[in-house]
Amino acid sequence: MLELHNVSKRYKQGKWALQKVSMTLRPGITGLLGPNGAGKSTLMRMLATISRPTAGTITWDGDSISKRADAFRAQMGYLPQDVGVYPQLNAVEFLQYAGALKGLGGPKLKKRILELLELLNLHEVRQRPLGSFSGGMRQRIGIAQALLNDPRLLILDEPTVGLDPEERVRFRSLLTDLSGERIVLLSTHIVSDIEATADQIAILSKGSLLMKTDPSEALRTV
Protein backbone atom coordinates (compact mmCIF):
# COMPACT_ATOMS: atom_id res chain seq x y z
CA MET A 1 0.00 0.00 0.00
CA LEU A 2 1.29 3.44 -0.96
CA GLU A 3 0.25 6.41 1.10
CA LEU A 4 0.74 10.10 0.48
CA HIS A 5 0.23 12.35 3.43
CA ASN A 6 -0.01 16.12 2.88
CA VAL A 7 2.54 16.01 0.08
CA SER A 8 3.49 19.45 -1.24
CA LYS A 9 6.08 20.53 -3.76
CA ARG A 10 7.51 23.93 -4.52
CA TYR A 11 10.17 24.17 -7.21
CA LYS A 12 13.12 26.48 -6.67
CA GLN A 13 12.03 28.97 -9.28
CA GLY A 14 8.34 28.61 -8.89
CA LYS A 15 5.10 28.51 -7.09
CA TRP A 16 3.61 25.52 -5.31
CA ALA A 17 3.17 22.80 -7.93
CA LEU A 18 1.37 20.54 -5.42
CA GLN A 19 -0.42 21.40 -2.22
CA LYS A 20 -1.17 18.96 0.59
CA VAL A 21 -2.01 15.97 -1.53
CA SER A 22 -3.13 12.97 0.52
CA MET A 23 -4.19 9.70 -1.02
CA THR A 24 -3.94 5.94 -0.57
CA LEU A 25 -3.16 3.63 -3.46
CA ARG A 26 -4.13 -0.02 -3.26
CA PRO A 27 -3.92 -2.81 -5.87
CA GLY A 28 -5.87 -1.87 -8.97
CA ILE A 29 -5.81 1.04 -11.36
CA THR A 30 -5.93 4.63 -10.16
CA GLY A 31 -6.40 7.20 -12.89
CA LEU A 32 -4.83 10.58 -12.19
CA LEU A 33 -6.73 13.07 -14.27
CA GLY A 34 -5.97 16.74 -14.78
CA PRO A 35 -5.13 19.38 -17.37
CA ASN A 36 -1.57 20.30 -18.34
CA GLY A 37 0.20 21.99 -15.46
CA ALA A 38 -2.03 20.42 -12.78
CA GLY A 39 0.94 18.71 -11.12
CA LYS A 40 0.57 15.14 -12.40
CA SER A 41 4.20 14.72 -13.46
CA THR A 42 5.40 16.43 -10.31
CA LEU A 43 3.49 13.91 -8.21
CA MET A 44 4.72 10.97 -10.25
CA ARG A 45 8.36 12.05 -10.18
CA MET A 46 8.18 12.12 -6.39
CA LEU A 47 6.67 8.63 -6.32
CA ALA A 48 9.43 7.50 -8.67
CA THR A 49 11.97 8.98 -6.16
CA ILE A 50 13.40 11.30 -8.81
CA SER A 51 12.40 14.36 -6.85
CA ARG A 52 11.50 14.92 -3.21
CA PRO A 53 8.48 16.52 -1.61
CA THR A 54 9.05 19.97 -0.10
CA ALA A 55 6.72 18.89 2.70
CA GLY A 56 4.70 15.80 3.58
CA THR A 57 5.48 12.10 3.52
CA ILE A 58 5.14 9.20 1.11
CA THR A 59 5.14 5.73 2.66
CA TRP A 60 5.24 2.26 1.15
CA ASP A 61 3.98 -0.51 3.41
CA GLY A 62 4.46 1.92 6.28
CA ASP A 63 8.06 3.03 5.57
CA SER A 64 9.09 6.34 4.04
CA ILE A 65 10.10 5.74 0.41
CA SER A 66 13.18 7.94 0.79
CA LYS A 67 14.40 6.09 3.88
CA ARG A 68 14.43 2.73 2.14
CA ALA A 69 14.77 3.99 -1.41
CA ASP A 70 16.61 0.97 -2.87
CA ALA A 71 14.11 -1.54 -1.53
CA PHE A 72 11.28 0.65 -2.75
CA ARG A 73 12.78 1.12 -6.25
CA ALA A 74 13.18 -2.63 -6.62
CA GLN A 75 9.39 -2.92 -6.39
CA MET A 76 8.54 0.09 -8.54
CA GLY A 77 8.33 0.60 -12.29
CA TYR A 78 8.09 4.04 -13.89
CA LEU A 79 7.27 5.22 -17.38
CA PRO A 80 8.32 8.88 -17.59
CA GLN A 81 6.35 11.26 -19.76
CA ASP A 82 9.34 11.99 -21.95
CA VAL A 83 10.46 8.39 -22.33
CA GLY A 84 13.94 8.58 -23.83
CA VAL A 85 14.80 5.71 -26.13
CA TYR A 86 18.06 5.11 -27.89
CA PRO A 87 17.36 5.20 -31.63
CA GLN A 88 20.24 2.92 -32.62
CA LEU A 89 19.46 0.14 -30.14
CA ASN A 90 16.99 -2.57 -31.02
CA ALA A 91 14.22 -3.56 -28.61
CA VAL A 92 16.16 -6.43 -27.01
CA GLU A 93 19.32 -4.36 -26.58
CA PHE A 94 17.36 -1.49 -25.04
CA LEU A 95 15.64 -3.77 -22.53
CA GLN A 96 18.95 -5.43 -21.65
CA TYR A 97 20.44 -2.02 -21.00
CA ALA A 98 17.41 -0.87 -18.97
CA GLY A 99 17.53 -4.13 -16.99
CA ALA A 100 21.23 -3.66 -16.22
CA LEU A 101 20.45 -0.20 -14.85
CA LYS A 102 17.99 -1.87 -12.47
CA GLY A 103 20.63 -4.37 -11.39
CA LEU A 104 19.07 -7.24 -13.35
CA GLY A 105 20.97 -9.60 -15.62
CA GLY A 106 21.74 -13.14 -16.71
CA PRO A 107 19.30 -15.76 -18.02
CA LYS A 108 16.51 -14.50 -15.76
CA LEU A 109 16.58 -11.09 -17.42
CA LYS A 110 16.71 -12.67 -20.89
CA LYS A 111 13.62 -14.73 -20.10
CA ARG A 112 11.79 -11.72 -18.69
CA ILE A 113 12.61 -9.65 -21.80
CA LEU A 114 11.17 -12.34 -24.08
CA GLU A 115 8.01 -12.56 -21.94
CA LEU A 116 7.54 -8.81 -22.09
CA LEU A 117 8.14 -8.62 -25.84
CA GLU A 118 5.38 -11.21 -26.23
CA LEU A 119 3.06 -9.50 -23.78
CA LEU A 120 3.45 -6.12 -25.45
CA ASN A 121 3.26 -7.54 -28.95
CA LEU A 122 6.78 -6.43 -29.85
CA HIS A 123 8.29 -9.84 -30.46
CA GLU A 124 8.28 -9.55 -34.22
CA VAL A 125 10.03 -6.19 -34.19
CA ARG A 126 12.52 -7.06 -31.44
CA GLN A 127 15.54 -6.72 -33.77
CA ARG A 128 14.50 -3.40 -35.26
CA PRO A 129 16.16 -0.17 -34.15
CA LEU A 130 13.96 1.89 -31.84
CA GLY A 131 14.46 4.88 -34.15
CA SER A 132 12.13 3.17 -36.63
CA PHE A 133 9.35 2.60 -34.06
CA SER A 134 5.95 4.33 -34.22
CA GLY A 135 4.65 6.32 -31.25
CA GLY A 136 2.59 3.36 -30.06
CA MET A 137 5.54 0.97 -30.31
CA ARG A 138 7.70 3.41 -28.39
CA GLN A 139 5.11 3.60 -25.61
CA ARG A 140 4.96 -0.19 -25.45
CA ILE A 141 8.74 -0.53 -25.19
CA GLY A 142 8.60 2.11 -22.45
CA ILE A 143 5.99 0.06 -20.60
CA ALA A 144 8.09 -3.09 -21.08
CA GLN A 145 11.03 -1.23 -19.52
CA ALA A 146 8.84 -0.28 -16.54
CA LEU A 147 7.77 -3.92 -16.08
CA LEU A 148 11.25 -5.50 -16.18
CA ASN A 149 11.42 -5.97 -12.42
CA ASP A 150 7.80 -7.20 -12.25
CA PRO A 151 6.96 -4.24 -10.01
CA ARG A 152 4.20 -4.19 -7.41
CA LEU A 153 3.81 -0.49 -8.12
CA LEU A 154 3.57 0.74 -11.70
CA ILE A 155 3.65 4.48 -12.43
CA LEU A 156 2.69 5.50 -15.96
CA ASP A 157 2.98 9.19 -16.82
CA GLU A 158 0.67 10.03 -19.74
CA PRO A 159 1.18 6.65 -21.42
CA THR A 160 -1.43 7.31 -24.11
CA VAL A 161 0.17 10.44 -25.57
CA GLY A 162 0.98 9.86 -29.22
CA LEU A 163 -1.25 6.81 -29.61
CA ASP A 164 -3.73 6.60 -32.48
CA PRO A 165 -7.34 5.62 -31.65
CA GLU A 166 -6.72 1.94 -32.38
CA GLU A 167 -3.58 1.85 -30.22
CA ARG A 168 -5.53 3.65 -27.50
CA VAL A 169 -8.13 0.88 -27.41
CA ARG A 170 -5.41 -1.78 -27.32
CA PHE A 171 -3.65 0.07 -24.55
CA ARG A 172 -6.79 -0.04 -22.41
CA SER A 173 -7.04 -3.81 -22.61
CA LEU A 174 -3.32 -4.13 -21.91
CA LEU A 175 -3.76 -1.98 -18.83
CA THR A 176 -6.47 -4.25 -17.49
CA ASP A 177 -4.24 -7.29 -18.10
CA LEU A 178 -1.36 -5.63 -16.29
CA SER A 179 -3.18 -4.56 -13.18
CA GLY A 180 -3.93 -7.82 -11.29
CA GLU A 181 -2.34 -7.51 -7.86
CA ARG A 182 -0.34 -4.47 -8.89
CA ILE A 183 -0.89 -0.92 -7.82
CA VAL A 184 -1.12 1.03 -11.07
CA LEU A 185 -1.13 4.83 -11.16
CA LEU A 186 -1.78 6.28 -14.58
CA SER A 187 -1.93 9.95 -15.48
CA THR A 188 -3.82 11.40 -18.39
CA HIS A 189 -5.67 14.52 -19.47
CA ILE A 190 -8.12 12.40 -21.46
CA VAL A 191 -11.16 11.23 -19.50
CA SER A 192 -11.93 8.28 -21.77
CA ASP A 193 -8.48 6.75 -21.16
CA ILE A 194 -9.47 5.84 -17.63
CA GLU A 195 -13.26 5.90 -17.65
CA ALA A 196 -13.51 2.23 -18.50
CA THR A 197 -10.38 0.90 -16.77
CA ALA A 198 -9.82 2.77 -13.51
CA ASP A 199 -10.94 1.43 -10.14
CA GLN A 200 -10.56 4.87 -8.68
CA ILE A 201 -10.03 8.31 -10.14
CA ALA A 202 -8.09 11.17 -8.61
CA ILE A 203 -8.53 14.59 -10.11
CA LEU A 204 -5.74 17.14 -9.81
CA SER A 205 -6.40 20.79 -10.41
CA LYS A 206 -3.74 23.48 -9.88
CA GLY A 207 -1.81 21.24 -7.52
CA SER A 208 -4.75 20.24 -5.34
CA LEU A 209 -6.48 16.92 -5.27
CA LEU A 210 -10.13 16.17 -5.66
CA MET A 211 -10.50 12.49 -4.90
CA LYS A 212 -13.45 10.31 -5.71
CA THR A 213 -13.57 6.56 -5.52
CA ASP A 214 -16.28 5.86 -8.02
CA PRO A 215 -15.34 6.79 -11.61
CA SER A 216 -18.86 7.57 -12.79
CA GLU A 217 -19.46 9.86 -9.83
CA ALA A 218 -16.08 11.57 -10.20
CA LEU A 219 -16.58 12.27 -13.88
CA ARG A 220 -19.81 14.11 -13.29
CA THR A 221 -17.81 16.89 -11.64
CA VAL A 222 -15.31 17.43 -14.51
Verify binding: residue 220, ligand ADP, rule CB under 6 A.
no
Stretch near ligand ADP under the rule CB under 6 A, chosen from 31-39, 96-104, 126-134, 138-146:
31-39
CA distances from 138 to 133, 143, 170, 215 (A): 6, 9, 14, 29
Residue 37 or 129: the one with the smaller Cβ distance to ligand ADP is 37
Binding to ligand ADP (CB under 6 A): which residues in 43-102? 51
The Cα diameter of the chain in Å comes to: 50
Closest C-alpha to 212, from 4, 30, 15:
30
Quote the CA–CA distance of 218 and 210 in Å, as a whole number. 9
Verify binding: residue 208, ligand ADP, rule CB under 6 A.
no
Q: Judged by CB under 6 A, which of 36, 127, 216, 221 binds ligand ADP?
A: 36
Quote the CA–CA distance of 111 and 36 in Å, as a whole number. 38
* Beta partners for residue 6, in sequence order: none
Verify binding: residue 34, ligand ADP, rule CB under 6 A.
yes
Verify binding: residue 12, ligand ADP, rule CB under 6 A.
yes
Q: Residues touching ligand ADP: how many (CB under 6 A)?
A: 14
Q: Which residues bind ligand ADP (CB under 6 A)?
A: 11-14, 17, 34, 36-42, 51
